[in-house]
Amino acid sequence: MNIKELLVSYKLIDDRIELALEEIARLRSLAERMTQCISFDGRGGKGGHSDRVGNYAVRIAELEINTDREIDRLVDLREKILKIVSSLDDDVERIVIERRYIMFENNEAIAEKLGYSLRHIVRVHKSALAKLEKMYNSEEQIAS
C-alpha cells in the first residue's frame, strides 16, 4: 500500500461508518413503527410483528458492533496518518494534507481558506504527497 492509498482508505472507512449509521437509524425507525402495531394485551399483532421487531433488534445490535469496530479502525488510522503527516517540515504542506484527507476538503476550499491560488495548493499537495511517500516507504522498509 502506498501513502495515497492509506490516506484514501481513511475516507472509505468514514463512508462505511456513515452508511452503517444511516442503516441503524432506518432499522430503528422501522422497529419503532412495528412496535406501534403490537397490541397492548401482550399478544403480537397480525403477521408476527413482534418477531420482526426482534429481528430488527438483532440486526441493529450486529450493525452497532461492526460500526464500533470500524470506528476503532478509523481512530487508529487517523493517529497513524497524523503521525506520518506531522513529520512534514512545511506547515502549509501539513495543513493541505490534513484538510484534504482528514477533513475531506477539496483543493478549491483549501485554497480559499489558506488564501492561496488553486494552482499553488495543487503543487503543495503534490509535493507533500511525494515527501510522504518517500517517508512512508522508508518506514515500511524499516518495519520489514
State yes or no: pLDDT of 108 exceeds 80: yes
- 81 and 96 in a single domain? The answer is no
What's the mean pLDDT in 88-110?
98
CA–CA separation, 8 and 85 (whole Å): 14
- 3 and 48 in a single domain? The answer is yes
Comparison of pLDDT for 138 and 99, the residue scoring more: 99
> What residues have CB less than 8 Å from 105, skipping those under 6 apart?
99, 113
SS3 76: helix
Question: What domain range includes position 40?
Answer: 1-85
104: domain CATH number?
A: 1.10.10
Of 42, 63, 85, which closes a domain?
A: 85
State yes or no: pLDDT of 48 exceeds 60: no
What's the mean pLDDT in 72-89?
96
- 80 and 97 in a single domain? The answer is no
Of 38, 63, 85, which closes a domain?
A: 85
Instruction: Give the helix ranges, DSSP H, for 38-117.
Output: 49-85, 91-101, 107-114
CA–CA separation, 111 and 88 (whole Å): 19
Q: Environment class of residue 37 by beta-carbon count within 10 Å: exposed (0-12), middle (13-18) or buried (19+)? A: middle
> What residues have CB less than 8 Å from 49, skipping those under 6 apart?
34, 35, 37, 38
